[in-house]
Structure 1
Amino acid sequence: MTDKPQAPAPQPLDSVEDGTASTLGAEAVAAFLRANPDFFVEQEDLLVSLRLPHQRGDTVSLVERQMKVLRERNIEMRHRLSHLMDVARDNDRLFDKTRRLILDILDAGSLEEVVIAVEDSLRQEFQVPFVSLILFSDIATPVGRWVSSGEAHQAIGALLSGGKPVSGTLRDHELDFLFGEEQRKQVGSTAVATLSHQGLHGVLAIGSRDPQHYKSSVGTLFLNYIAEVLGRVVPRFTSSLRSVR
């Protein structure tokens, strides 16, 4: 059995400038304790005799201080775990609602049934107050909302250029195009997903009265899934579509 390394001998005070001796000594002690975490196992008397300042001005033992720190860390970890569990449950519910909506879209027998399924599910199941599904075509279609490619590009070209879902606060003219002037005044934040598949182009937008609800960093994964499914199902019912680009 090899002997444990010994703490380095303290440096004489007269060899160090004023104000640096205690610092060097503390660094040496800290380095030794890091290298020998079980040092106090055989030094119980020393462990009990150590005292640390308390916030109230009293002193507590090192063991008491350590227990306090561990309790605080344990509480913090429980809070983090509870938050993660809440997020997981919310995602499970969101996934289940998305799955049911996608199945309804796939089972739809007409374009009208597709539009109804999307709008009813988002408003009732997802509890979204503002919903807008807009398809782009230069030929008018009686079902749903259709606008020309040029009009769409002029109004929300910035939202379409990236081809990826966006969320956050939009400009007034973008909100006017998506939700109309009356509803625009009530929309605080928005999430928008583009539809783009084999000649079909459009947008699916949802809005909240809360300006912080759809932050710029919020995930739009499920909304994008719905938009991708729409992009593949809608062309079954119409072929009079033209690219917005």
Structure 2
Amino acid sequence: MMKTDGMNPITEDDIANYLANTPDFFTRHAQLLSEVQLTSPHGSRAVSLQERQAEMLREKIKALEHRLMDMVRHGNENVVIADRLHRWARNLFQVQSGRALPATISAEIKHQFMVPQVAIKVWDVDSRYGSEVFAEGVSEDARSFASSLTQPYCGVNSGFEAVNWLDDPAMAMSIALIPLREVASNSTGPAFGMLVLASPDPQRFQSGMGTDFLERIAELAGAALSRLRAK
């Protein structure tokens, strides 16, 4: 039983602690469950403690339903993206010409993933491909920057050289810069190419977004393009 004196009046915390540590209180005073009146959060009317508890449970159930719907929606979106990734990879396997491979990678990303602009550059290629557009116009700074990326960069264009590889750099409001490496290399190995994805939508590629699918694209593209490299 709670005790107090004139020097230490009972506080709300004392009452809350007492009820929390006396689970049989409402068993002994069951009538209070219907007699206690609380203000409803959905208006000024008074409701019983039992009604308030029921409202709280309904609110929790509604919140859980929303979370479940979000999980289902995200799951469906991931299935769609995985299916597109599968089709993109399948189409890469059908490319016979090494010269046509970079352009095919870019075109298929545009088509399968509905990316407005895509560019690709590859360096340290075999001499047969040295004069191809995809192997030219890459500075040492751009190569070093690609190698410094341990995962795709997503966000705004902060004056990256690679954005100039796009057909319309001015419309690159958000970008993804994806380093390309040998399949056997880890994420810190030297890059031999880079993919640039761009959108006029500032929210398409956001800082902090998940990059799992972009990393899968990097692995598959790196594996496919490895045959262009100088031996």
The TM-score bracket by the shorter chain reads 0.7 to 0.9
**Which residue in 1 is equivalent to 2:35?**
49
SS in 2 for 1:133: strand
Aligned-pair distance for 1:206?
0.9
The 1:164–1:240 alpha-carbon spacing in structure 2 relative to 1, beyond 3 Å, is same
Q: Deviations over 1:126-177 (max 9, x none)?
A: 11101111112475545551126xx333347444423321110122353543
Root mean square deviation, CA, Å: 2.6
Q: What letter corresponds to residue 78 of structure 1 in structure 2?
A: E
Q: Distance in 2 between matches of 1:135 and 1:233?
A: 12
Q: Distance in 2 between matches of 1:9 and 1:39?
A: 12
* 8 Å contact kept, 2:2–2:18: no
**Which residue in 2 is equivalent to 1:147?**
136
State the number of aligned residues.
Answer: 222
Q: Does 1:210 align with 2:194?
A: no
**Which residue in 2 is equivalent to 1:240?**
230
Q: Deviations over 1:49-69 (max 9, x none)?
A: 111234544422111111111
Q: What letter corresponds to residue 58 of structure 2 in structure 1?
A: R
What does residue range 119-198 of structure 1 map to in structure 2 within 5 Å?
119-137=106-124, 141=130, 143=132, 145-147=134-136, 151-155=138-142, 157-174=144-161, 176-180=163-167, 183-197=168-182
Q: Identity of aligned pairs, percent?
A: 24
In the superposition, the TM-score normalised over structure 2's length comes to 0.82
| Rg larger for | 1
**Which residue in 1 is equivalent to 2:21?**
35
* 8 Å contact kept, 1:153–1:160: no
The 1:119–1:176 alpha-carbon spacing in structure 2 relative to 1, beyond 3 Å, is closer
**Which residue in 1 is equivalent to 2:74?**
87
Aligned-pair distance for 1:41?
4.3
Q: Deviations over 1:208-243 (max 9, x none)?
A: 11112211111222122122222222232x3438xx
Aligned-pair distance for 1:111?
1.7
Equivalent position to 2:50, from 60, 63, 85: 63
* 8 Å contact kept, 1:115–1:144: no
Q: Distance in 1 between matches of 2:105 and 2:136?
A: 18
* 8 Å contact kept, 2:39–2:46: yes
Aligned-pair distance for 1:83?
0.9
